[in-house]
Amino acid sequence: MTTSQAAIEADAKADRPEPPRYARLMGLSWLHLLNDGASNYLPGVLPAVLVALGESTTVAGSMMSALLIGQALQVVTGGFADYVGGRLFIVLGVLGSSAAGAAIGLAPNIWVLVAALFVIGVSSALFHPPALAATRRLSGARHGLSMSLFLVGGELGRGVWPLVASIVAVSFGLRYLWLLALPAVISVALLWGRIPHPAPPRRDSHRIDWRRHLGPASALTGFALLRALAGYGVVTYLPVLWHLRGHGLVAGAALITVLLVVGIIGNIGGGHIADRLGRRPVLLGSSVMAAILLAVFLVSSGLWQWIVLGLLGIAVFAVRPIIVLIGQDIFAENQALGSGIALGLSNSLAAAALAGLDPVAAAGGPKAVMWVLVGVLVLASIVSLRLPVDRSRP
């Protein structure tokens, strides 16, 4: 073999993307399950918590806002995580969310509860940006599918943990919610050596061009805000609506489980379809379908409600991996920061908007809020047309 042939083969090998590292991705996805489970089981026990504290169900939106507002720090933690490197943020996020989640059942008044919820939000902000950036680095050429696999862990946590928390609360009492923190402590100890250990950026890396990124990032944030508001609004007010109709705590939590666990199909499918057909068809199509399905759910009854709810979960969560990837593409110089803006900033803005739905709930009840969310999804469909040009396809 000549020197030139060897050089050509070496270049071809260097250009060939590495295969996805699925074993490490699954470990990271499991930690995502534990983090998001601890961060999001409040809706499953919220009616019982408000009764225990003597508070009205009309403050449900404000409680979820306190839980989510800390995610605005993802913009800060994302930039800092890329600068420092290391796995510390991932570990602190999982353990912090689990510890503060345990405090939900021990809160003696609403102010302690709000403080615990804010700590959960901050811990989640520590976890997500470096974990999302690490997922991109472990994904090889299958960015959409690998991001979906990571996000599946979060969806399972958000779907299963509210049901588990409600069972614990009904069976043993709210003060035993600390049991849900134990898996996180054990898992961090067992998976420590397999947690990605990102290196800080090279000294010659490019500075972030904020002026060039402002337009695309604004469009992405607006779309992600609307989708997050719709998702969080449904998860927050659906159990309250069910409770007011005379159903038990576990039944209300089961609705969240159906919505989020069946939504995993959308999470994986959305990333896979985006890899093959592009991102915009998924963003627009899922937004239109989510608006239609939520409206159908509100006018249906019986078994049909459960079927429509599962389909709604698929439509609602099909966009999450794509939103992250677009953020990372916009901020290619700092992908943890891009992840933080795509999810953290939009989620925190959605949390503030969620608190604004309290007057709607007070005036017209949870069902009125649901109809407002149908309009939010229609608006998201329009905004999706303004998102950056698709760069996900080969």
Q: What is the full per-residue pLDDT of the chain (394 aa) written as tens digits? A: 444 444 434 444 434 445 566 677 788 889 999 998 888 777 678 777 877 877 776 676 677 677 767 766 776 776 676 666 567 888 888 999 999 988 888 888 888 888 888 888 888 888 888 887 777 777 665 566 677 778 778 878 877 888 888 888 888 888 898 898 999 999 998 888 777 765 555 444 456 667 777 778 888 888 988 998 998 888 888 877 777 777 666 766 777 777 777 777 877 777 777 777 778 888 898 899 999 999 998 888 777 888 888 888 888 888 877 888 888 788 776 766 777 777 777 777 887 788 788 788 888 888 888 899 999 999 999 998 888 755 544 4
Structural domain includes residue 53: yes
Structural domain includes residue 1: no
Structural domain includes residue 15: no
- pTM of the predicted model, to two decimals? 0.65
Rg (CA), the chain: 21
Find, among 38, 39, 35, the residue nearest to 27 by Cα: 35
- The CATH number of residue 105's host domain is 1.20.1250.20
Number of Cβ within a 10 Å radius of residue 177 = 23
- Position 116: which residue type? A
Instruction: State how far the Cα of 338 lies from the Cα of 336, in Å rounded to an integer.
Output: 5
Instruction: State how far the Cα of 262 lies from the Cα of 308, in Å rounded to an integer.
Output: 11
Number of Cβ within a 10 Å radius of residue 97 = 29
Structural domain includes residue 334: yes
Instruction: State how far the Cα of 316 lies from the Cα of 314, in Å rounded to an integer.
Output: 6
Structural domain includes residue 120: yes
Structural domain includes residue 7: no
**What is the distance of C-alpha 109 from the center of its chain?**
28
Written as six digits, the tokens of 260 are 């989020």
Instruction: State how far the Cα of 386 lies from the Cα of 394, in Å rounded to an integer.
Output: 22
pLDDT of residue 9: 45
Range of the domain at 74: 22-194+209-386
Structural domain includes residue 133: yes
Instruction: State how far the Cα of 313 lies from the Cα of 291, in Å rounded to an integer.
Output: 11
The label of the residue with tokens 């690998």 reads: 146
Q: How many domains does the chain have?
A: 1
Residue 92 near residue 77 (C-beta atoms within 8 A): no
Residue 34 near residue 331 (C-beta atoms within 8 A): no
Return the half-sphere exposure (C-beta side, CA atoms, 13 A cut-off) of residue 37.
30
Structural domain includes residue 12: no
pLDDT of residue 4: 44
pLDDT of residue 305: 81
Instruction: State how far the Cα of 49 lies from the Cα of 236, in Å rounded to an integer.
Output: 13
